[in-house]
Structure 1
Amino acid sequence: MAEWRSQAGLTKTALAEALGYTPQWISQVEAAKSIPSKEFAENLDTYFHTNGLFQRLWKRIIDTRYQAVLPPGFPEYQEREAEASQARIYQLTLVHGLLQTEKYIRAVVGPKQDPDTADRLVAERLKRQQILTRENPPYVWFTLDEAALRREVAEREVMCEQLAHILSLEERTNISIDVVPLSAGYYPGLAGSFTILGFTNAPDVVYGELGGQGMLIQDPRIVAKFAVTYNSLRGDALRVAESRALITKVMEEYG
């Protein structure tokens, strides 16, 4: 942008006045200290008659930024997730991404991101959830800690909607959801969340995150240990009908 501005003989102040922004904003964008909006890119294309050049640059920035905010290892996991025939998922602190409503997702990803990146993250997560409702979907077992249901990451209305969404998904024949109650005390799952993906013609893999780093584990011995852990922690979970009653109870408390 600075090159186009200089070639047009414009100061930052002059360009700012022409486009309706402040000189400080122009300086921030040129110094790569602020992410431009799509509207700003469109205004630049209109002003400089650049036939969508700045919009293409904006999209590249957003795409790169989107990839940068994902935990290392997650893109590869996401590809494997789409191919899985079954998944065993344990979630300790938050409602799992495949179960999240749009408003819940936005509450989780929005505060730390610029609006364009947040919108992209929300859209990508909603698209990812389509594996649960597609033709020939995987069979998925979700085991949630009760703390994930009670952690108010958004307004109570949003939390109530989120829990209602979980109850509706649990009605699908390919989805099973149970909950480990707080009354269980200490149990193996407190070490952290993880997912075991199963495939028709390939070995199982495990995915987990620690310190912002995603880890896709393929070592059969380690995967087997996670399978044992999952079976063990499910022993601390309520039966499906009892779990449904607990989710309903927490939802009513939000309401």
Structure 2
Amino acid sequence: MTAVRNLDPSASPLDYYGSELRRLRETAGLSQAQLGSIVFCTGSLVGQIETTKKVPTRDFSERVDAALGTDGMFSRLVGLVLRSQLPSWFQPYAEMEARATFISTFQPQLVYGLIQTEEYARVLMSVDCKDDLEGKVAARMERQRILERPSPPATWVVLSEAALHQEIGGRAVMRKQLSRLLELQNRRWLSVQVLPFAAGEHAGLDGEFTILRFGDDPDIVYTEDFIQGHMTANPESIREGSLRYDRLQAAALSVRDSAALIARVMEERYGEQPESDERSMA
């Protein structure tokens, strides 16, 4: 049984979530095991969330709301909890991203975070994640909820063809990721273009960047290095970023031709391969 640990609810959203979960569970007269049985998990998991050793998921939060009759409190709170799991230097950008009405991004090596599958994201984050990988993956998936809004930000993604060939997590993970890109092409407010290898030198050789546009606030250009991210609303930087993005879009394949290339790479590079029959080589 998980040891009782006193929490400071003001320390973080995760601490507040854990302390409220414990308080409301005890008010309802339920043990950790009893609540776990109701929400289809172990009592140990309930205890780990109450003591901040595990990060709650949205599904867990919705089940707890139903079990404890909390009128959606944990479902509302979990968004803050998951956002707090993002790197501290990335959180200001995530807040601006969530407010944006238009997102334009160029990605030279990897699929853009907002359109990654969970499996693809997990492999990427496992490279340098030392603790609570699942919590960090859940945080990235939570970011993607902005694309499910009734009025989502109009999003335009230009991917280098290299992102299609950089094998992350193996063939099955890549096939699912590329399939996801094709599914997204059916959404009116989201477009994916591929910058082919044949484009040669291009305006994005300096690296990835993202432009966020807002209804009333100044535009923002975001860039990232291996240590942290950088945001600026400097008019000259916005002008330069916009010009580069226009050139990248012009050099990229059309949305339709991009989809055809994605489908071809998915089948030729990551398609189902028949198992080799060693007997035929005898």
Please tell me the TM-score bracket, short chain as reference: 0.7 to 0.9
SS at match of 1:177: strand
C-alpha deviations, 1:92-114, integer Å up to 9, x for none? 11001011001001110023224
Match of 1:33 in 2: none
- TM-score normalised by structure 1 residue count: 0.73
Rounded Cα–Cα distance in structure 2 between residues aligned with 1:122 and 1:128: 10
Structure 2 CA distance for partners of 1:212 and 1:53, relative to 1, 3 Å:
closer
* RMSD (Å), alpha carbons: 2.7
Rounded Cα–Cα distance in structure 2 between residues aligned with 1:140 and 1:94: 17
Verify the 8 A CA contact 1:85 1:200 in the aligned structure 2: yes
Rounded Cα–Cα distance in structure 2 between residues aligned with 1:129 and 1:234: 23
More displaced, 178-187 or 104-113?
Answer: 104-113
Q: Does 1:218 align with 2:225?
A: no
Rounded Cα–Cα distance in structure 1 between residues aligned with 2:240 and 2:49: 51
Rounded Cα–Cα distance in structure 1 between residues aligned with 2:48 and 2:262: 50
Match of 1:132 in 2: 147
Q: Does 1:191 align with 2:206?
A: yes
Match of 1:203 in 2: 218
Structure 2 CA distance for partners of 1:217 and 1:107, relative to 1, 3 Å:
same
Rounded Cα–Cα distance in structure 2 between residues aligned with 1:195 and 1:53: 37
- TM-score normalised by structure 2 residue count: 0.66
User: Deviation of residue 70 (structure 1)?
Assistant: 2.2
Q: Does 1:84 align with 2:79?
A: no
Q: Does 1:241 align with 2:256?
A: yes
Q: Give the aligned residue type for 1:94.
A: L
Gap regions ≥5 residues in structure 1 = 5-41, 44-51
User: Deviation of residue 188 (structure 1)?
Assistant: 1.1
User: Deviation of residue 119 (structure 1)?
Assistant: 0.4
Verify the 8 A CA contact 2:221 2:231 in the aligned structure 1: yes
Q: How does 1:23-38 map to 2 (within 5 A)?
A: none
Match of 1:146 in 2: 161
Verify the 8 A CA contact 2:101 2:213 in the aligned structure 1: yes
Q: Give the aligned residue type for 1:92.
A: P
Structure 2 CA distance for partners of 1:103 and 1:243, relative to 1, 3 Å:
same
User: Deviation of residue 133 (structure 1)?
Assistant: 1.7
Structure 2 CA distance for partners of 1:69 and 1:112, relative to 1, 3 Å:
farther
User: Deviation of residue 57 (structure 1)?
Assistant: 5.6
Rounded Cα–Cα distance in structure 1 between residues aligned with 2:138 and 2:107: 22
Match of 2:51 in 1: 56
Verify the 8 A CA contact 2:120 2:173 in the aligned structure 1: yes
Rounded Cα–Cα distance in structure 2 between residues aligned with 1:125 and 1:95: 13
State which of 146, 155, 158 in structure 1 corresponds to 2:173.
158
Match of 1:70 in 2: 87
Verify the 8 A CA contact 1:71 1:213 in the aligned structure 2: no
Match of 2:128 in 1: 112
User: Deviation of residue 67 (structure 1)?
Assistant: 6.1
Identity score, percent: 40
Match of 1:171 in 2: 186
Higher-helix-fraction structure:
1
Structure 2 CA distance for partners of 1:71 and 1:154, relative to 1, 3 Å:
farther
Structure 2 CA distance for partners of 1:68 and 1:162, relative to 1, 3 Å:
closer
C-alpha deviations, 1:146-166, integer Å up to 9, x for none? 001110011101101100001
Paired residues in the alignment total: 204
